[in-house]
Amino acid sequence: MAKIDLNKVAVEYPVPHMQNRSFVGAVKNAAIGGLIKREKVLRIRALDGVTMTLSDGDRVGLLGRNGAGKTTLLKTMAAILPPTEGRVVVEGRISPLISMMLGLDNEASGYENIRIRGRLMGFAEEEINAVMPEIAAFTELQDYLDLPLKTYSSGMRMRLTFAASTAFKPEVLLLDEWLGTGDLEFRNKAAKRLRELIAESGVFVFASHSRDLHKRISNKGAVLENGKLLFFGDINDAFEFQDARRARLEDPSPKRKKNKRKSAAKKEATPQS
């Protein structure tokens, strides 16, 4: 059984260069501590009090503009980013379909690179051996799989990394933007494989700007804005919420009225789990 449980999760990034990054400087400060007021560190609150529970069968679409916190949320779920506040519990094997090119070795053969990818994703040698023929067949690269990766075209590389990354069945699948790879024929084949992978996963979380994709894949929607979870519920309701909110914010009515509506929006925003 797969499950993701987020409780009041917040992530604050310190803004680089606004922080004292010098060891010599820190020693100096400690030596004359108190004399000079400590400089204030500027922080970006990328996630702010996000509470949500996802369980088996949930196909969640993350909605929100650039910088709303979609990727940061995926990273906290993927165990990459330990949040600065709150609690994260993920049950089930996590597979983030991100950084698919990570760790690839240009000098190594296609087969070896499939192995590298499998190891990176935390699979045992026997598990990799078991899926190797299937991956090899899916890439359609045939004899090229014996040649070093540096001889591949970028399209061939994508075929290899896509096939290897999607070969293992995870319980929790995280996807940041749809993977469109290769030529039209392969793209269709890849889309089919990805849909199968999603269908077999327990929990699927997917960040995308495409409503079209969300309508086809997601059954729940989470609306993020400035790191806050404004709405979590049925995907179509999430779209409606987004549309209503956009219309409200663009509404050129008098300021007083607008404020009133804004507070109403906030009430509506209490996340449901």
Partner 1 sequence: MSTYRYEYQAGLSNWQRAYQDLKDSWARRSLWIDMAIREFNHKYRGAGFGAFWLTLTTATTATGLALLYGYLFGRPIEEHLPYVTCAILTWGLITGFANNGCAVFVGNAHAFKEFPLPSSLFVFRLAFTQVISVAYRAIVLVAVLLLFSVPVTLVSLLSLVGFVMLVWTGFWISLALGVINARYRDFGQLVSAFMTFAFFLTPIFWLPDRLGAYSAYVNLNPFYHMIQVIRGPILGHDELLLHFGVVAGFAVVAPLIGAFVFGKLSHRLPYWC
Distance CA 97, CA 174 (A): 6
Smallest gap from Cβ 41 to partner 1, in A, equals: 11
Smallest gap from Cβ 230 to partner 1, in A, equals: 22
Smallest gap from Cβ 154 to partner 1, in A, equals: 19
Site membership for partner 1, residue 13 (CB under 8 A) = yes
Site membership for partner 1, residue 122 (CB under 8 A) = yes
- The site that binds partner 1 (CB under 8 A) totals a number of residues, namely 42
Burial of 11 (0-12, 13-18, 19+ CB in 10 A): buried
How far from 39 is each of 12, 27, 36, 46, CA to CA, in Å?
17, 15, 9, 22
Distance CA 159, CA 151 (A): 14
Smallest gap from Cβ 63 to partner 1, in A, equals: 23
Residues 123-152 that bind partner 1 (CB under 8 A): 125
How far from 235 is each of 4, 149, 195, 224, CA to CA, in Å?
18, 41, 18, 13
Supply φ then ψ for residue 191, to 5 degrees: -60, -40
Site membership for partner 1, residue 193 (CB under 8 A) = no
Q: Which is nearer to partner 1, 115 or 157 (CB)?
A: 115
Q: Which is nearer to partner 1, 116 or 164 (CB)?
A: 116
Q: Which is nearer to partner 1, 23 or 185 (CB)?
A: 23
CB atoms within 10 A of CB 183: 11
Residues 54-113 that bind partner 1 (CB under 8 A): 78-94, 96, 98-99, 102-103, 105, 107-108
Distance CA 101, CA 165 (A): 10
Q: Which is nearer to partner 1, 2 or 235 (CB)?
A: 2
Smallest gap from Cβ 171 to partner 1, in A, equals: 6
Q: Which is nearer to partner 1, 81 or 163 (CB)?
A: 81
Smallest gap from Cβ 53 to partner 1, in A, equals: 14
State the angle between helix axes of 255-268 and 235-250 in degrees (0 to 180), rounded to the nearest 10: 160
Residue with structure tokens 């698919």?
100
Residue with structure tokens 């991100």?
98
Residue type, 121: M
Smallest gap from Cβ 45 to partner 1, in A, equals: 13
| Interface with partner 1 (CB under 8 A) | 1-2, 9-10, 13-14, 21-24, 26, 78-94, 96, 98-99, 102-103, 105, 107-108, 116, 119-120, 122, 125, 171
